Structure 1
C-alpha cells in the first residue's frame, strides 16, 4: 500500500486539484500545509524549489500538472479509451488557460491595471472559457464532460471555477452550473468541500 503526502501552502491554489482527486478516491494522504513565513525554510528542500510536491513512498514529484495527471491515471479518472483520454486533456487544457488569466490578475500589483484585468476576465475571458465548457457538456449530454461518470475533467473545471469566477458568470451557463453542483454535492466530496477555507489563489 503506497503512502501519499501532498506538500503545499495552507491555501487552495495549485495544490487543491490534487486534494480533490485524492479525496474523491478515498485515498488517505498527509496534507502537509505550511505558511508563507515557513516557505524560505521549506523551499530548498523541494526538488525544484517550488510546490506543490507530491511524495509517494518517499519519492518526491513536482509540477502540479504532472502530479494531477499521475493521480488521475493512477485512480482511473482519466477516461477509459484513447478518445476519452484526449477529451479529458482537452478540458484540462482549457482550465489551464483559465488559470493563466487568473494568475495574471493575482500577480498584478497596480490597482488600476488589476481592476482592468478583473473586468476583462469577467466580461470576456471567463465567458469565453465557460462557453467552451457548455458546448462540451451539451455534446456529451451526460451531465459530465467526458463519458458518463465523474472524471479528472469535472474536478479540474470545478477547481478552476472555484477560485475567481463569479456566480453571476457561471449562472449564464446552465450545464456548467449543474455540473459544478454535481461535483459539489458528490457524496465522496461534499464534506471536504464544505469544510474548506475560503478560496485563495
Structure 2
C-alpha cells in the first residue's frame, strides 16, 4: 500500500482539492503544512522550488493539476469511460479558469484595483463560469457533472467555489448550488469539511 505526504502552506488554495480527494477516499496521508516563514528553508528541497508537492512512497511530484489528476485516477474519480474522462477534464478546465481570476485578485496589492477585480469577478467572471457549469449539469441530468456519481469534476467545482465565490452569485445557478450542497453533505466528506478552520484562500 502506498504512503502519501502532501506538502503545502497552511492554507487551502492549491492543495485543498487533493485534501478533499484523500478525505473522500478515506485514504490516510500526512498533511504536511508549514508557515510562510518556513518557506525559504523548504523551497530548495522541492522539485521545482514550489508547492504543493505530493510525495508517494518517497517520490516527489509537483504541479497541483498533475497531483489531482494522479489522485483522481488512483481513486477512481476520473470517469469510467474515455468520454467521461474528457467530460471531467472540461469541468476541471472551467474551474482552472475560475482560479486564474481568483489568483489575479489575490495578487493585486493596489486596493482600488483589487476592489475593481472583485466586482468584475462577482458580476462577470464567476457568473460566466457558473453558467457553463449549470449547462453541464442540466445536460447530464443526474445532479453530478459527469455520470451518475461523485467524481473529480464535482470536487473541483466545489473547491473552486468554496471561499471566493459569494453565495449570492451561486444562488443564481440552482443546479450548481444543489451540486455544491451534495458535495458538502456527502457522508465521506462532511466531517472533514466541517472540521476545517476558517480560511480566506
The TM-score bracket by the shorter chain reads: over 0.9
Contact 1:22 1:28 in 2 (8 A): yes
Structure 1 gaps of 5+ residues are none
Structure 1 residue 4 displacement after superposition: 0.3
Partner of 1:164: 164
Map 1:169-180 to 2 at 5 A.
169-180=169-180
SS in 1 for 2:60: strand
In the aligned structure 2, how far is the partner of 1:168 from the partner of 1:18? 27
In the aligned structure 1, how far is the partner of 2:197 from the partner of 2:21? 18
Structure 1 residue 199 displacement after superposition: 2.7
Structure 1 residue 152 displacement after superposition: 0.1
Map 1:87-98 to 2 at 5 A.
87-98=87-98
Q: Aligned Cα RMSD in Å?
A: 0.5
Matched, 1:130 2:130: yes
Structure 2 gaps of 5+ residues are none
Structure 1 residue 128 displacement after superposition: 0.3
In the aligned structure 2, how far is the partner of 1:116 from the partner of 1:12? 24
Structure 1 residue 163 displacement after superposition: 2.3
User: Normalized against structure 1, the TM-score is what?
Assistant: 0.99
User: Normalized against structure 2, the TM-score is what?
Assistant: 0.99
Matched, 1:32 2:48: no
Structure 1 residue 200 displacement after superposition: 2.9
Structure 1 residue 173 displacement after superposition: 0.5
Partner of 1:50: 50
Partner of 1:181: 181
In the aligned structure 2, how far is the partner of 1:57 from the partner of 1:140? 37
Partner of 1:8: 8
Deviations for 1:63-110, whole angstroms, at most 9, x for unmatched residues? 000000000001100000011000000000000000000000000000
SS in 1 for 2:128: helix
